[in-house]
Every structure is written in C-alpha cells, then in structure tokens.
C-alpha cells in the first residue's frame, strides 16, 4: 500500500455539521412524544434501603412511572455489579441508583425524583484509600540488595488525585422499546460493545438491540464501557413500550455514576551507580476499586518496560472501598503510572547532578526489559533529543523574571500499541463510489475523516471517492474506541476488506459489488514489543509572592509510527497534553469521607484547565517507520499525549522554585512554604 491519502492534512468531515449544530447527539434524537427519566440516588455510602415511599412522586401530574428495586424487572445477568441496577436494596456507594422517575417532561421527572422518600439502615463505610495493606508484587533479580549497594537512590512517595472525566457532552441515552426491539441512541465509544453488554444484562438476543451513535461530545474512556445509566434508561423504556425515554446524566450525577480514575499512592524507588546507570527500579502503587465491581488500574505497567535495570519490582494493592465504580480515563495505567516514576527520575538526575535527559538516555534499553523482545521501534532517545532542541532545553533556567520564578521540566511518555482482534468492515461499490461500513466510533478523535483516508489508499482511489458509515450496530461489528486501538483495529479491518474486494472484483468493479474483511491478532506480537514513545517539555512560572503556577508553553515530541492525518493527530496529542497539564495543576475530585461522595461535583468547583491556563501547547512527531505494528505502520495517538505530561510540569515547577511537590495537583498552598516572598532581588 502506498500512502497517498494517508498523511494528508484533511479537515474533519463532520466539522461543518458540528459547528452548525446539525450533528445529532444522543439526547437530541428527534423522536415522537419522548418521556424523560430522572434517577433517584442513594444518600448513604453503605447499608440498605428499608423504605422507599413513591406515593408523592406518583401523584404528581405528568409522572408516568416510578421504578424502584420493588417493581423493576429482574435482569438476566447481575454479574457486572455496576449494571445490576435496582436488583437489590443494598447500597454499595453514595450516589448509587435506587430508583428513577419517568415523566412527560424532564422538569417533572426531576421534581418527582426529589419527592421519593427513602429510609435507610446505614452501616459504617470506608471510602479513604491508604497505602497500608497487601501488595501483589512481581520481582525480577534482587531489588533489596541493589538498593543496599547503590551509590545513589531515590525513595519517595507520590500521589495522584481522584479524577473524573468531564466531556462536554454528559452521558445521555434515548431509549425506545418497540415491537420487541430495543433501540438505544447512546453517547458511547463503542456501539457493538454496548449492545453486547446490554444484551447480556437483559438476556436479549443482540439482534433485538440496535445502538446508534454517530457523534460523541467527548468520552476520554468514560463512555468506553456502558454504565448504570444505560441500563436504567433501557429499563425505563421497557415499562413504556412504544414511547422513547430520554435520560441525560447531570454533571453532578457523573461524579458518582459514569466512572473515574482511582487516586493512587505511589512509592517509587530508583537505585543507580555514579554514572547514572539504574541497578534497580521498584514501584509500589495503592489504588482503589468499588466493592460493587472490581476494576484494577494497571499503573505499574509502564515501569516494567520503560528503563533498563537488572533488578525490578512492580507491586499493586487494590483496596475495595464503599465508593463509586472506578473505570477508564485517558491512558488508564500509563497516565498515573508514569507520574511518580518520571518525577523520581528527575529527583535522581538532580542528586546525580545529571541532565534529566541524559539520565534517560543512559537507561534507554536496547530491548524490552520485561519480555526480552526487541522493540518494533523505540525512538524515545530521538524524541528527547529533538524535543530538547525545539524547546530550547539548554536555556531551562532556573531564572527570575520580575516576580516570576521560571524553570523547565521534561518527562517521557509511553503507550502500548494495542489492536483488538475483533472488527469487520464491508466495502461496497455503488454509483462510482466506495462505501465502507463499520460500527466504529468517532468521539472527537477524527474517525469520520481518517478511516476514509485509510480506505482510499487500501483501494488505491482518491479519498473523495470513499464514504464511511460508522456509529451504528446496523453496520458490521467493531471494537471499542479504547486503548488507542481504534484506528489500528478498524483500519486493519478496512485494509483486509479492500484486499478481498480487489481480489474478487479487480480494479473495475460493477455496481453493487461488495466484500467483507476483518482483523486478527498481529502475529508480529510474538517477535516484538510494541509501544509508542514521546518526550514532553514544560515551562513553569511560579509567582514568588502567591505561589500561583502558570505554564506558558509545553512541547511534545512523539514517535507514533505513520501519522494518518496530521490535523487530527495534532489535536489528539495536544488534547492529551492539555489534560495532563490539567491533572498537574487543577484536577482533583474531593471525596468527603464522612459522606462518601465527591463534594466538588461540578465544573465550577472541579477545575479543568481553562483557556487561560493552557498556553502554547504544541506537538510534533518523528518520521517513524514501523513495518511490524500493522500494514499502515501506525500507532495509536489518543492517549500518549497525557502520559508524562503532569510529571513534566511538576519537574518544571521544581526547577523554577526548588520546591518538590509530590502530591497532585500542584496548588499554590503546596509551594508557598518553600518560597521567599518580598521585594524583588
């Protein structure tokens, strides 16, 4: 395949529909006589509902149904505790669904939900993560001896906060149960995975469920797995056959119902000789999961593969607490897991008196330390060197500009190349054009635009002659947009379909000719370790009097294989970096352990970086050729941009101030005690 359309800087095909407001999102789906569903949520963290009085709610004019554990249908499967909605009177976390009201208007539904009276038998709850407890450790070599004999060592504890995905479009569903078929217009990162899960939970054949989602207003992982709201919407629709039911999760409700990233407590230890060569890496991380459903954030993963060291330990502790369900958030595992270790590398460089880039270059492994396999491509060193030049690393401070203390920091990024062995594409020729059908998702990532680029090259035709249809289970099965695997997976299926098509019909097909292709495991995985790499640079300015932190510029250099579309790629990378900046300086879900819920549960109090916080954030990529990852030579770009970004910012703040903050976010109260206010020197 010769890349002709691949690599073109094409504007988003869905752009005009989005900016003119004609792109239809799940909640906006035009349906006849919709009813509206509003959840009732538990206000205790653990215990049992003893009484649910729905009389006042039912008496409200316009109320169509009130569902509770007492009258809700029994689900076919309650194996997934998050989705076992209204199946028991037990309360496993504050904010859990304990009922819902369906009404003629959303206002009536919301008012009636407030009228449901609930009594509880409350039990003591535990919602606070601690580092104490049992760890599952994997060890190679003799870590403790290496530390005992090391010339230099770093042994520090770092923490990342609890984070909530806050896409612009909150989770929303329009559900219609009619003629024995359930239709869900759902904001999701995967129509087929959602369908499969809903089918399992309700005990329905997948043929009886259709999930439609042409556009998503952001997901970042929070829409990768169906959450309880989908089940509730489907339940509500089943009690009103023939009437569509709409359920929009409110911003506040998202903080208990639609997943979040666990807080982490990380102990990172590095041992090195005088030259900076690492002899041991040890990384112990404590995380939480909900009692109701286990989800283990794989934060130790990147430490296994990042740097060479003969002695290694990675240990996880997963504490089951009375908290909402943890789930995917951009780069689960790698994002929190590259925070502590990449700050520890900076601390080690500082102690050694080495440039932190040099320290990383010294320890750049020739092969994957975990598997011993060669890397299909590993250009971390080149990313660091190129970035240093572009960013002006030589001039990294510290220096003082008026009242501002200025310094720069660096950190590395990594994200594995993932491919799902599941997706099918159908290519059809009609009216002189090719149409590709695949149930893929575009959650703002660019699929509407990039998939045609791949198809065009696979078919050897101009991109204008290719149309794609995605976001509907009416099209062939597609995997979830998650793990930065979407484009790799769906693109591979499209490549296969194009090959089959050309083999069957040649280059001069007849109207109506159609071929199907799919994707399998990458056999090269047996031979190679495969990851994307990057280097992130940040400049921090800290106000000497107030400790306010500003980051005027960040630059990322990434090695992500062949880039399908520079415009959407840049958007993904800088978007990830911006989220990383936000993690470094702002984001923090404050869980009040007395109540068991996040109390800063809206966008006024849960701060994400706003325009004024995001300065000049730029990304570039190396001209990397990797024939092993897939026929396109492309690696995923959705998540690597956030990995390492927070560490780069924290390292920059240290360079500027001499104050090492190890607990995110870096807020001014953590810097103030280490600053010297007063008149300019």
Partner 1 sequence: MEPFDYRRPGDAATAVRTVAADPSAVFLGGGTNLVDHLKLGVASPGLVVDVTSLTSSEISDHDGGLRIGAAVRNSDLAADRRVRERYPMLARALLAGASGQLRNMATTGGNPLQRTRCVYFQDVTTPCNKRSPGSGCSAIGGYTRYHAVLGASPECIATHPSDLAVALTALDAEVQVLGPVGERTIGFGELHRLPGDRPDRDTVLEHGELITAIDLPEAPIAVNSTYRKVRDRASYAFALVSVAAALRVENGIVRDSRIAFGGVAHKPWRATRAEEVLLDAPATEATYRQAAEAELADAVAVDGIDGGNGFKLPLLVNTLAATLRDLTGEAK
Judged by CB under 8 A, which stretch of 77-85, 139-147, 471-479, 541-549 contacts partner 1?
A: 541-549
Q: Is 183 exposed, middle or buried (0-12, 13-18, 19+ CB in 10 A)?
A: buried
Question: 144-164 burial, b if ≥16 CB within 10 A, otherwise e?
Answer: eebbeebebbbebebbbbbbb
Q: Give the binding range for partner 1 (CB under 8 A) out of 17-25, 385-393, 438-446, 661-669.
A: 661-669
Does the annotation count 69 as an active-site position? no
Cβ proximity to partner 1: between 394 and 681 the closer is 681
User: Considering beta carbons, is residue 512 or 679 the nearer one to partner 1?
Assistant: 679
The number of C-alpha atoms within 13 Å of 300 and in the hemisphere containing its C-beta is 23
In the block, residue with structure tokens 């062949």: 562
Q: Closer to partner 1 by CB, 210 or 553: give it.
A: 553
Among 238, 385, 403, 660, binds partner 1 (CB under 8 A): 403
Rounded CA separation 239/259 (Å): 27
Pair 509, 461: CB distance under 8 Å: no
Q: Where are the alpha helices (DSSP H) in 481-603?
A: 486-505, 566-585
117 near partner 1 (CB under 8 A): no
If one asks whether residue 678 binds partner 1 (CB under 8 A), the answer comes out as: yes
Nearest to 660 by CA among 643, 673, 678, 645: 673
Q: Structure tokens of 98?
A: 């304990």
Catalytic residue among 297, 342, 587, 639: 639
Candidates 19-27, 511-519, 589-597, 629-637 — which segment interacts with partner 1 by CB under 8 A?
589-597
Q: Smallest gap, in angstroms, from Cβ of residue 618 to partner 1?
A: 19
By CB under 8 A, what part of segment 122-161 binds partner 1?
none
What are the backbone dihedrals phi and psi of residue 536, each rounded to the nearest 5 degrees, phi first? -120, 135
In angstroms, what is the minimal distance from the CB of 98 to partner 1? 13
Q: Could you tell me which stretch among 110-118, 220-228, 298-306, 328-336 binds partner 1 (CB under 8 A)?
A: 110-118
Q: Which stretch binds partner 1 (CB under 8 A): 71-79, 389-397, 581-589, 647-655?
A: 581-589
Mark 225-254 with x for binding to partner 1 (rule: CB under 8 A) and - for no binding.
Answer: ---------------------------x--
Residue 586 is a binding residue for partner 1 (CB under 8 A): yes
Per rule CB under 8 A, is residue 77 in the interface with partner 1? no
Of residues 123 and 605, the one with the C-beta less far from partner 1: 605
Binding of partner 1 by 550 (CB under 8 A)? yes
Q: What are phi and psi of 141, to 5 degrees?
A: 75, -155
Q: How many residues bind partner 1 (CB under 8 A)?
A: 41
Residue 79 makes CB contacts below 8 A (sequence gap 6+) with 200
CA gap 79, 281 in Å, rounded: 38
Q: How far apart are CA 365 and CA 302, in angstroms?
A: 13
Judge contact between 321 and 128, C-beta under 8 A: yes
Under rule CB under 8 A, residue 612 binds partner 1: yes
192 binds partner 1 (CB under 8 A): no
User: Is residue 545 within the footprint of partner 1 (CB under 8 A)?
Assistant: yes
Q: What is the DSSP letter of 393?
A: G
**Structure-block tokens of residue 253:** 């409700």
Upper half-sphere CA count for residue 185 (Cβ side, 13 Å)? 18
Q: Give the binding site for partner 1 (CB under 8 A).
A: 43, 107, 110-111, 114, 252, 403, 545-548, 550, 585-586, 588, 590, 592-595, 597, 599-602, 604-605, 607, 609-613, 667-669, 672-673, 677-679
Point out the residues that are catalytic: 639
């Amino acid at each position: 395949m010769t890349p002709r359309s691949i690599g073109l800087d094409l504007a988003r095909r869905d752009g005009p529909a989005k900016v003119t407001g004609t792109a239809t999102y799940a909640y906006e789906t035009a349906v006849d006589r919709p009813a509206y569903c509003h959840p009732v949520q538990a206000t205790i963290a653990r215990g049992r509902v003893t009484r649910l009085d729905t009389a006042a709610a039912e008496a409200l004019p316009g109320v169509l149904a009130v569902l509770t554990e007492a009258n809700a249908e029994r689900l076919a499967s309650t194996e997934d505790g998050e989705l076992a909605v209204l199946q028991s009177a037990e309360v496993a976390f504050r904010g859990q669904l304990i009922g819902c009201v369906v009404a003629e208007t959303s206002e009536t539904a919301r008012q009636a939900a407030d009228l449901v009276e609930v009594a509880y038998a409350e039990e003591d709850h535990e919602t606070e993560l601690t580092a104490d407890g049992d760890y599952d450790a994997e060890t190679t070599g003799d870590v403790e001896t290496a530390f005992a004999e090391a010339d230099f060592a770093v042994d520090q504890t770092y923490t990342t906060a609890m984070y909530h995905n806050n896409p612009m479009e909150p989770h929303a569903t329009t559900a219609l149960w009619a003629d024995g078929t359930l239709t869900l217009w759902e904001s999701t990162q995967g129509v087929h995975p959602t369908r499969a899960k809903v089918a399992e939970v309700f005990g329905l054949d997948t043929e009886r469920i259709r999930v439609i989602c042409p556009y998503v207003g952001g997901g970042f992982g929070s829409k990768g797995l169906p959450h309880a709201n989908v089940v509730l919407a489907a339940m509500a629709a089943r009690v009103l056959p023939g009437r569509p039911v709409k359920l929009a999760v409110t911003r506040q409700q998202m903080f208990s119902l639609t997943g979040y990233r666990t807080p982490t407590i990380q102990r990172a230890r590095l041992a090195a000789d005088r030259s900076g060569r690492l002899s041991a890496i040890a990384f112990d991380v404590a995380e939480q999961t909900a009692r109701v459903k286990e989800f283990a954030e794989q934060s130790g993963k990147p430490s296994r593969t990042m740097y060479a060291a003969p002695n290694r330990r990675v240990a996880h502790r997963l504490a089951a607490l009375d908290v909402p369900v943890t789930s995917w958030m951009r780069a689960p595992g790698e994002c929190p897991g590259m925070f502590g270790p990449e700050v520890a590398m900076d601390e080690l460089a500082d102690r050694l008196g080495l440039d932190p880039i040099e320290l990383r270059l010294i320890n750049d492994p020739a092969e994957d330390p975990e598997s011993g396999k060669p890397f299909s491509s590993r250009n971390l060193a080149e990313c660091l060197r190129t970035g240093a030049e572009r960013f002006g690393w030589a001039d990294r401070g510290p220096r003082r500009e008026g009242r501002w203390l200025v310094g720069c920091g660096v950190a590395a990024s990594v994200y594995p190349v993932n491919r799902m062995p599941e997706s099918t594409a159908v290519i059809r020729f009609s009216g002189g054009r090719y149409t590709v059908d695949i149930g893929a998702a575009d959650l703002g990532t660019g699929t509407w635009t990039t998939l045609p680029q791949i198809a065009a090259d696979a078919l050897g035709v101009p991109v204008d002659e290719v149309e794609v249809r995605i976001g509907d289970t009416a099209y062939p099965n597609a995997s979830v947009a998650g793990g930065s695997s979407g484009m790799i997976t769906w693109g591979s299926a499209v490549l296969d379909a194009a090959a089959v098509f050309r083999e069957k019909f040649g280059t001069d097909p007849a109207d109506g000719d159609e071929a199907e292709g799919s994707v399998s495991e990458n056999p090269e995985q047996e031979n190679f370790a495969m990851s994307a790499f990057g280097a992130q640079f940040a400049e921090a300015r800290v106000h000497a009097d107030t400790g306010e932190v500003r980051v005027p510029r960040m630059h990322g250099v990434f090695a992500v294989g062949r880039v399908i579309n520079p415009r959407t790629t840049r958007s993904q990378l800088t978007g990830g970096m911006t989220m990383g900046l936000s993690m470094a300086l702002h984001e923090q879900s404050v869980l009040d352990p007395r109540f068991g819920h996040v109390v800063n549960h809206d966008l006024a109090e849960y701060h994400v970086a706003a325009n004024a916080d995001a300065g000049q954030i730029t990304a570039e990529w190396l001209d990397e050729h990797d024939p092993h990852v897939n026929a396109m030579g492309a690696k995923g770009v959705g998540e690597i941009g956030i990995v390492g970004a927070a560490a780069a910012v924290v390292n920059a703040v240290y360079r500027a101030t001499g104050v090492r903050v190890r607990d995110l976010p870096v807020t001014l109260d953590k810097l103030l005690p280490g600053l010297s206010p007063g008149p300019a020197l």
